[in-house]
Amino acid sequence: MGKNNNTEGRLRYNILTTIVYIIGIILIIQLFNLQIIHGAEYREESNSRLTRESVLKAARGSIKDRTGVELVTTDTKYSVEIYSTKVDDTTLNNSIKKFIEILENNEDEFIDNLPIEIDPFKFTQETEEEQKNWKKNNDIDENFSAKDAFNALKQKYEITEEDNTLARKIMAVRYEITRNGYSSTKSVKIANNISDTSAVQIREQNAKLSGMNVTTEPTVSYTSGSLASHVLGYVGAISESEYETRKDTYRNDDVIGKDGIQYVLEDYLKGTDGVKQVDMTVDGAITSEYISKEAVAGSDVILTLDANLQKVAEEALKQNIEDIANGKYGDKHDAKAGAVVVMDINSGEVLAMASYPDYNPEKFSEEYSEDNTGRYTNRAISSAYPPGSTFKMAVATAALDTGEITTKTRINDTGVYPYSYHPVCWYYRNYRSGHGYLNVTQALKYSCNYFFYEMGYRLGIDKIAEYASKYGLGKRTGIELTGEASGTLASTAYAESINYTWYLADTLAASIGQSYNEFTPIQMARYISMIANGGKNVDVTLIKSIINSDGSEVPKEDVENYIDNKLGTKNEVEEDLNISEENLQAIRQGMKGVTSEAGGTAYSYFTDLDMVIAGKTGSAQTQDEDIVHGWFSGFAPYENPEIAVVVLIEGAGSGGYTAYTAKQIIEEYFGMNSEEITEDKTAESSLESVR
* Model pLDDT for residues 266-300, shown as the tens digit of each residue: 999 999 988 877 776 766 566 777 778 888 999 99
User: Stretch 51-66: mean pLDDT, rounded?
Assistant: 86
In the predicted model, what is the mean pLDDT of residues 661-670? 96
Name the nearest CA neighbour of 200 among 302, 105, 82. 105
Q: What is the model's pLDDT at position 371?
A: 60
| pLDDT class of 47 with cuts at 50, 70, 90 | very low
Q: How far apart are CA 657 and CA 335, in angstroms?
A: 11
Q: Which residue has the higher pLDDT, 25 or 537?
A: 537
179-191 pLDDT tens trace: 888 877 778 899 9
Does pLDDT of 351 surpass 90? yes
pLDDT exceeding 90 applies to what percent of the chain? Answer: 71
Q: Cα separations (Å) of 153 from 96, 146, 157, 349, 387?
A: 16, 11, 6, 58, 61
Task: Give the Cα separation of 344 and 309 in Å (integer).
Answer: 13
509/449 Cα distance (integer angstroms): 10
Categorise residue 629: left if φ over 0, alpha if ψ from -120 to 50, beta otherwise: beta
Is residue 48 packed enough to be buried (19+ CB in 10 Å), middle (13-18) or exposed (0-12)? middle
**Rounded CA gap, 271 and 269, in Å?**
6
Sign of CA dihedral 356, 357, 361, 362: positive
Query: Band of the pLDDT at 32, cuts 50, 70, 90?
Result: low
pLDDT exceeds 60 at position 341: yes
Q: Is the pLDDT of residue 531 over 60?
A: yes
Asked if the bond preceding 637 is cis, omega within 30° of 0, the reply is yes
pLDDT at 686 over 50: no
pLDDT above 70 (res 685): no
ω into 120 cis (within 30 of 0): yes
**Is there a contact between 144 and 152 (Cβ–Cβ < 8 Å)?**
yes
Average pLDDT over residues 206-232: 91
Cα angle 301-302-308, degrees, rounded to a multiple of 5: 130
Angle (CA) 245-250-253 rounded to 5° is: 110
Note the pTM of the prediction, 2 decimals: 0.81
Instruction: Say yes or no to pLDDT of 615 above 80.
Output: yes
pLDDT-based confidence at residue 688 (cuts at 50, 70, 90): very low
pLDDT at 680: 39
Q: Are 628 and 687 in contact (CB under 8 A)?
A: yes
Report the alpha-carbon distance of residue 635 to residue 591 in Å, rounded: 9
Residue 368's pLDDT is 52
DSSP state, 597?
S
Confidence of residue 177 (pLDDT cuts 50, 70, 90): very high
User: Any idea which of 38-47, 212-221, 280-289 has the lowest mean pLDDT?
Assistant: 38-47
User: Across residues 569-595, what is the average pLDDT?
Assistant: 91
Mean of pLDDT values over 124-151: 92
Q: What percent of the chain has pLDDT over 70?
A: 90
Residue 521 identity: P
Q: What is the rounded distance in angstroms from the CA atom of residue 192 to the CA atom of residue 80?
A: 7
- Kindly tell me the sign of the dihedral angle through the C-alpha atoms of 46, 48, 52, 56: negative
d(C-alpha 433, C-alpha 425), whole Å: 9
pLDDT of residue 676: 46
State yes or no: pLDDT of 24 exceeds 90: no
pLDDT at residue 507, as a whole number? 98
Q: Rounded to whole angstroms, how far apart are CA atoms 310 and 528?
A: 19
> What number is the average pLDDT over the span 306-326?
97
- What gap in Å lies between CA 443 and CA 439, rounded to an integer? 6
R_g of the chain computed on alpha carbons:
35
